[in-house]
Amino acid sequence: MVGMSLPVLTSSAGLPLRSAGWHGRDLLAAAFLFAATAAVVLWQNAHVAVLWDLSYVLDTASRIALGQLPYRDFPLAHAPLTFLIQAAIIRLTGRVFFHHVLYAATAGGLGTVLAWRIALRTLREGLRQSWIVSLLLAAPLAVLGVYSILPMPSYDCDTALSILLAVYLLQRLEPGSRIAALVAGTALCLPLFFKQNIGLPFLSVSLASVLALLVQSLLRGKQHSTQPSEVPAMLAILVGVAATLTAAVLLLSATVGFGNYIHWTVQFAAQRRLPGLSAMLDVYRQPSLAWMLPCVLAAVLLLLLTRTKSLWARWPALVLLAAPFAFTLYTLWLYDDADERGDSLLALWPLLLILAAALALFNLRRGLSLRALVPILILAAIHGTLLSQQLWGSTYAIWPLLMLLIANLLVALAGIEGAHSARQTITVTVSAVLSATFLICGGAYTASEERLSYADLPDEPAVRSTLPQLAGMATSGPYLAEFDQMIRFASDHIPQDDGLILLPGEDPFYFTTGRTPHFPVLLFDPATDPYSPAELLNQIRARNIRWLIVKHHLQIKEDPTPQREATMRLLLGEFKLDTQLKGYDVYRRP
């Protein structure tokens, strides 16, 4: 790929060869990146909690920890692994919120370290200053890591971490390494069971890629009457995938029913959340592309046309390459509004995705290899993520994946520059500008909580929960104080065995109280609630639900309760007001 005299760390079939192991400076760098990322996650949790997201994960995990099974005993529109991990934490360590914070901090730190090691191995294939440039790319992930923006247990974040693990294992495969390839095949399946709209595209493209490589190797071996050394590894990957999927189907069939799983995670989830193609394409209608993309293309053209002649175009090319990122930095002073600053940073996504896709297709023209296919796997995962809420809502967990695409772009830039730059000055300078942009603007984006703007987070000191189960939970506004009061009322006045529902279910009630849920739905949202108002009332009667707690002072800015007016009209004909608390009305069914 690059016109340099560096050793290429791949075999003839594109399977990466093992590089040198960890050195002292690598351990120090890994420790620093891990600690910095974990510190950001801990700092985030020290002053912000989005109760809507927390309640869905923690209350669902609590009912699993009590023995209720998703898909069979209650509907769940998401894949199970995040909820099972949090349920295991509850079973092993009790209902303590801070334990889940520690999990998020640990996962965030691991994600940054994995992204750094993948980027380092990629950059070694074409960049002399690969170690320092890899650190430049990894440093912003302290504030943009998988758990840095949304710092609480989340399936998107866990999926991004599992993708990093799968790419890391693929990147380290050697020809003939059957056991490692089996493990890599298993890892390719993990994202599917964290979040299906991300994991399915990732796994599908991964399987297609491995099959294409296998066919190419077999055809080449047939021509030379030999079996290529990489064939066993690729067969082992396929065996690992097949064995993992078979085991998952058997386990689901024996526990919750495979048909139930498909109904809720595929049919119901697609019906409620899958956007149209036009909505997906909106991410590439970013106005800034009209000048950013021509700048980059002009810079590449200048370098290509002059690479064997004069050096006069190098500095204009550098200015053109740096312009989109310098402008993003400038917007910190240009705009006062955090929303506009955030949009300016996110506008870099379509630019970099287009460039990465073009480079990936160009590399494929030069022959199939695992190195050429890995960016395509990452692109598939990113676009699967964008299916959730399109670009502006879904990038919070996948910044490390973007950094891996940037690493490939930098290797290509170094190859273009290499003919007349012994030190690859342009590539290193662009790396520094990129790092500064994402570190500074990303830090401002995370600190402003712009991604969490769907929740009301007043600009005032955080209030801590006084409940022992929620020790360490803090957020601004009156929400935790009001929730604490409601929990104490429920403890004193609502019998432990009485069934109840909470509308819309914003608070982690069951995690905090340890009560057993009597109703299938805990969070009333179009993406999670399958019942019409009439069906909801019938379920309440059939399950003898005695209490209704309606939260009217929501932290989330828009009440998502489906058909709220019709629902409340039916429910208030069945329940009578018992007590009014700060933020809550408590009703009892005679």
**Which 3-state string (H, E, C) describes 223-274?**
HHCCCCCCHHHHHHHHHHHHHHHHHHHHHHHHHCCHHHHHHHHHHHHHHHHC
Q: Alpha-carbon distance 131 to 120, whole Å?
A: 6
CATH code, residues 469-588: 3.40.50
- What's the confidence (pLDDT) of residue 148? 97
Give Cα 392 distance to the centre of its chain: 13
User: What pLDDT, on a 0 to 100 scale, did the predictor assign at position 275?
Assistant: 62
Task: Say what the pLDDT of residue 283 is.
Answer: 75
pLDDT of res. 280: 66
| End-to-end Cα, the chain, rounded Å | 75
pLDDT number for residue 393: 67
Angle of helix 196-224 relative to helix 370-385, nearest 10 degrees, comes to 160
Contact 518, 66 (CB under 8 A): no
**Tens digit of pLDDT per residue, the chain (590 long)?**
333 333 333 443 344 444 456 778 999 999 999 999 999 999 999 999 999 999 999 999 999 999 999 999 999 999 999 999 999 999 999 999 999 999 999 999 999 999 999 999 999 988 888 999 999 999 999 999 999 999 999 999 999 999 999 999 999 888 778 899 999 999 999 999 999 999 999 999 999 999 998 888 888 776 665 556 678 888 999 999 999 999 999 999 999 999 999 999 999 988 876 666 666 667 788 889 999 999 999 999 888 876 544 567 778 889 999 999 999 999 999 998 888 999 999 999 999 999 999 999 998 887 777 778 899 999 999 988 887 765 566 889 999 999 999 999 999 998 887 645 556 888 999 999 999 999 999 999 999 999 999 999 999 999 999 999 999 999 999 999 999 999 999 999 999 999 999 999 999 999 999 999 999 999 999 889 999 999 999 999 999 999 999 999 999 998 899 999 999 999 999 999 999 999 999 999 98
* Distance (Å, whole) CA 511 – CA 471: 13
Q: Where exactly are the structural domains of the chain?
A: 24-48+96-452, 469-588
